[in-house]
């Protein structure tokens, strides 16, 4: 079999040429990085978990008519996606103050915002992904006003969907990052959701205990990152209760999210 052509290697993923024109294979690595690559580790099983969680989220978003690059999962570490021209922006949406906004604007971690706030960061590692304004994005040609509107509207809808999805399994969605790309079809172009949505790109706190279930476990040296991601996957019904992840074993059909009820009187 011919060796696949690698198109790109990022911090947590590798892209290979896909089997058909306009397709790409996205491979999820176990590498974790933080603070603009200053901190690095290989956390066994992380790639498998992110592949599964991102697949689950993308399929859910397709169901509410958010166009995404996801076509299908190929195996435990790879998914087939549409080729897009990545817009060089990280779109962050925040429901509760955490991370960089606390340092930048003095919010207290855990303080909820009156409404979700969207921010754009310019994707440029050498510059540490700086915060940019819509006017800068437009003036410097990174995206036009219509594209900015589309990204903003999609991000707000994704946030509503994910807030509900995670709340249903006892998790609070604090913030997350998404990326978009342009997909061309002849003269037509559309903006679609790209990259991944996983605990690497979200902040997820257990509603009852406040336990951190996302990449902050690595950033803050808390340990137990793959256990936390496994817990997220189990609650979403991606892994069964006693199941552990593996690179080779295909996971059988799962039942879907394990809903959490606030009703203490409920009878089983």
Q: Which residues bind ligand UDP (CB under 6 A)?
A: 90, 92, 99-101, 129, 175-177, 201-203, 215
Cβ 2 to ligand UDP, closest distance in Å? 34
Cβ 198 to ligand UDP, closest distance in Å? 9
Query: Closer to ligand UDP at the Cβ: 30 or 129?
Result: 129
Cβ 221 to ligand UDP, closest distance in Å? 14
- Per-residue exposure over 157-193, b if at least 16 CB sit within 10 Å of its own CB, e if not: ebbebbbebbeebbbbbbbbbbbbbebeeeeeeebbb
Angle at which helices 225-235 and 46-63 pack, to 10 degrees? 30
- Nearest Cα residue to 237 out of 251, 224, 216, 217: 251
Query: Closer to ligand UDP at the Cβ: 12 or 148?
Result: 12
The structure tokens 């922006």 sit at 89
Q: How many residues does the chain have?
A: 268
**C-alpha torsion angle, residues 165, 166, 170, 176 (rounded to 10):** -160
Query: Closer to ligand UDP at the Cβ: 18 or 58?
Result: 58
Cβ 248 to ligand UDP, closest distance in Å? 28
Query: Closer to ligand UDP at the Cβ: 177 or 235?
Result: 177
Query: Closer to ligand UDP at the Cβ: 117 or 189?
Result: 117
């Amino acid at each position: 079999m011919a060796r696949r052509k690698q198109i790109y290697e990022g911090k947590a993923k590798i892209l290979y040429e896909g089997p058909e024109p306009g397709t790409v294979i996205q491979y999820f690595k176990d590498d974790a990085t933080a603070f603009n690559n200053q901190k690095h580790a290989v956390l066994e099983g992380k790639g498998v978990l992110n592949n599964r969680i991102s697949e689950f989220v993308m399929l859910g978003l397709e169901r509410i008519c958010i166009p995404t690059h996801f076509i299908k999962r190929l195996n435990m570490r790879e998914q087939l996606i549409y080729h897009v021209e990545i817009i060089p922006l990280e779109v962050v949406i925040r429901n509760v103050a955490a991370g960089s906004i606390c340092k930048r604007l003095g919010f207290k971690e855990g303080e909820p915002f009156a409404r979700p706030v969207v921010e754009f960061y310019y994707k440029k590692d050498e510059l540490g992904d700086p915060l940019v304004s819509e006017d800068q994005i437009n003036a410097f040609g990174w995206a036009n006003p219509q594209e900015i509107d589309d990204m903003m509207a999609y991000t707000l809808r994704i946030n509503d969907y994910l807030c509900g999805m995670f709340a249903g399994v006892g998790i609070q969605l604090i913030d997350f990052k998404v990326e978009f790309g342009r997909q061309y079809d002849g003269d037509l172009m559309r903006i679609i959701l790209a990259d991944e949505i996983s605990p690497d790109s979200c902040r997820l706190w257990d509603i009852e205990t406040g336990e951190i279930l996302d990449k902050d476990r690595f950033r803050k040296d808390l340990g137990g990152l793959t256990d936390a991601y496994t817990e997220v996957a189990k609650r979403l019904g991606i892994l069964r209760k006693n199941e552990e992840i593996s690179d080779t074993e295909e996971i059988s059909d799962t039942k879907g999210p394990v809903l959490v009820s606030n009703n203490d009187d409920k009878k089983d």
